[in-house]
A and B are shown apart, each in its own frame.
Chain A
């Protein structure tokens, strides 16, 4: 089975801090994604990557950046954390570039910014 592992289940940080959320997948998938999930808003795509060192903006990239130095690892960076970035963050991966491929999700990181 595909395993997508997010480094922390819960994280508490302070306003203004630089925050790193890490995600690793073990199935050699080309595509990786970062979403945030908020009550009433569903999942919203922040950034995604089709290949190493490649990134594309999703629907809500403001205040975030990403890094993909290795195929299996995709990092989400909050440059200067703010309270409105308190949320559940979900990482996902999928194989190839085919449009029919399902995404495999990690269990999420619940981030609180104080």
Chain B
């Protein structure tokens, strides 16, 4: 199963864009890339997913490298409520997710 690597933590200022990187160098051709986030005392929450093309939704954008070995979650304007642990995961054909340690995002006012 493909594994993911993310920085342990990142800081951002409120109202500024945030780029959260993820490496998944062993990803296979049919694996989807999913991002989840986990707020304190809550279960993970789905953010966005994609296969090859860049994706946008109301929460974030997902930029996927051409070789698919890395991706970047983009929060266009960070708010204090975006402070969370962000997980990059790979969703294989069995619909199983492989979670890494995630990136703790801290947002400064």
A interface residues (Cβ-Cβ under 8 A, vs B): 4, 31, 35, 40-45, 48, 56, 58, 90, 92, 94, 97-108
Contact = CB atoms under 8 A, between A and B. Distances in A.
A44 to B, nearest CB: 8
Contacts of A106: 43
Interface of B: 30-32, 34, 36, 41-46, 49, 51, 87, 91-97, 99-102
B72 to A, nearest CB: 19
B100 A42 contact: yes
A63 B86 CA distance: 29
A9 B42 CA distance: 10
B2 to A, nearest CB: 13
Given A42-B100, A58-B96, A102 B34 contact: yes
Given A42-B100, A99-B32, A99-B93, A90 B43 contact: yes
A3 to B, nearest CB: 11
A90 B44 contact: yes
A31 B44 contact: no
A103 B30 CA distance: 18
